[in-house]
Structure 1
Amino acid sequence: MNPSLVSYVVFLFFIATALAAKQEIVKDSTGKKVLNDVPYHIGPVSGKGGLIKLTDTINNKKVCPFNVVQNPNDEVGSEFEFTLISNREKYLKTLWNLGVSSGYPKSKCEKSTFWTILDAEAKPPLNLITTGGRFEDETTCFQLVNYPKPTNPKVPSYMLQHCPSNCGDGPQLPCYNVSVYVDKGVRRLASNGTTPLEFVFYKLRK
């Protein structure tokens, strides 16, 4: 069997194992429990650049709704709130439906800041993560999963999945891994079927 194919099969095995696990409380980079519906930064395990952020400008053009991007050199990032759906628990949990947002819009773009994927099975731009959705809608329905092969086992890391069937009334569809898609030099988050994005929760930097 082709070595690359073997690696891919092994990775799928680890993902299947992760999905079979029970729900667990999510932890930040220091090992502390992540609060439900409270702002955090998210980014690579190293913590040295590459934080995720919202942007209203792509290739020098204004966009509305916002796009969700990753700049390898960005050490600031945006604030994101992960909010459990139909659950008033204090802490975030893996394998539980949730929405991701940045609170109320703080620009001329009046669309909501809820992360949205219009069609996870489609090609870009429909499978790119933008904003503008409604809470507890099939286009804004995500879940956190423990990353199957963490870069640093000592640091809790996660991957995000888009799960439209978990919140909608449409046909039953699988959950789709969120990964990075490079579009004209811009690293954008999407459900494009490649290696899932591994990220860590970081407390807000004051």
Structure 2
Amino acid sequence: MKPLLSYVLLLLFIITTQLLISSTTTTGTAAATEDIVKDSEGKEVLDNVPYHIGPVITGTGTRGRIKLTDTMYNKKVCPLDVVQDPSEDNLGGQFMFTLIGKEKYLLTSRILGIDSGSPKGECEESTFWTIPDVEEPPPSNLITTGGGFDQSFTCFQVVEYPKPTSPEVPSYMLQHCPSFCGAGPQTCFNISIYTDNGVRRLSSITGGYPFEFAFYKVKRTHDTL
């Protein structure tokens, strides 16, 4: 083989390898294509429609669904905090995952905001999930509320969980990607569970296992039980 041709082939190999490496996220998985998110029953999850989210399998101790709380350590808080309900029997909060760019169904690997709609109760701050500083230790990297739509602090995406607990139930994980909505670190951070004085909270803790969850349809009064 001629030296020039060998050099060109080697150069192409190096460029291709670097492109594959650069397309990975902090999870170490290749950048995913956009897929429609499915709920626990295998049905398409609607964009900007309320759903419950929580562990795929219950009966494992204090592993309830995600909710908002206005009370932490017997003190009222505002904005509200995002926590995991200690009871497996509770339905948890209702959250809307809204893509930046209107779509009928929720898609993986697309930037979105997460909220519970208009504020209710005494706290008038918004219900959009936010991380004040994703690279700082707790409490700065714990998920709370009070942000606005399409801001670096409220910039999330849903991706498929790499090793699902149950093959029958579609499961996902969250990533916080501040640079996709403005200034911030040029990477995405996996969202994990962090135990804060006995309270299980969502956080961008580095090195923790990503929080695996499923979408659960909100039961309406006219739904068949």
Q: When the two structures are superposed, what TM-score results if normalisation uses the length of structure 2?
A: 0.81
Give the C-alpha shift of residue 14 in structure 1: 10
Q: Which runs of 4+ in 1 moved over 6 A?
A: none
The reply on whether 1:179 has 2:192 as its aligned counterpart is yes
Give the C-alpha shift of residue 164 in structure 1: 0.2
What pairs with 1:1-206 in structure 2 (closer than 5 Å)? 15-17=27-29, 19-47=30-58, 50-74=64-88, 75-85=90-100, 87-168=101-182, 170-193=183-206, 194-206=208-220
Question: AA paired with 2:91?
Answer: V
* Partner SS, residue 28 of structure 2: helix
Question: AA paired with 1:81?
Answer: M
Question: AA paired with 2:122?
Answer: K
Give the C-alpha shift of residue 15 in structure 1: 3.4
Contact 1:40–1:201, Cα closer than 8 Å, also in 2: yes
Between the two proteins, the alignment pairs up a number of residues equal to 192
Against the structure 1 CA distance between its residues 106 and 186, is the aligned structure 2 distance closer, same or farther, given a 3 Å change threshold? same
Give the whole-Å Cα distance in 1 for the aligned partners of 2:58 and 2:46: 20
Give the whole-Å Cα distance in 2 for the aligned partners of 1:78 and 1:205: 12
**Identical-pair percentage:** 60
Question: AA paired with 2:194?
Answer: Y
Q: When the two structures are superposed, what TM-score results if normalisation uses the length of structure 1?
A: 0.89
Unaligned runs of 5+ in 2: 1-23, 221-225
Give the C-alpha shift of residue 13 in structure 1: 9.7
Give the whole-Å Cα distance in 2 for the aligned partners of 1:56 and 1:173: 32
Give the whole-Å Cα distance in 2 for the aligned partners of 1:146 and 1:47: 20
Cα RMSD (Å):
1.7
Contact 1:14–1:148, Cα closer than 8 Å, also in 2: no
Contact 1:14–1:149, Cα closer than 8 Å, also in 2: no
* Partner SS, residue 95 of structure 1: coil
Contact 2:178–2:184, Cα closer than 8 Å, also in 1: no
Give the whole-Å Cα distance in 1 for the aligned partners of 2:125 and 2:94: 17
Indicate the residue corresponding to 1:3 in structure 2.
Answer: none
Give the whole-Å Cα distance in 1 for the aligned partners of 2:138 and 2:68: 18
Give the whole-Å Cα distance in 2 for the aligned partners of 1:119 and 1:14: 17
Larger Rg: 2
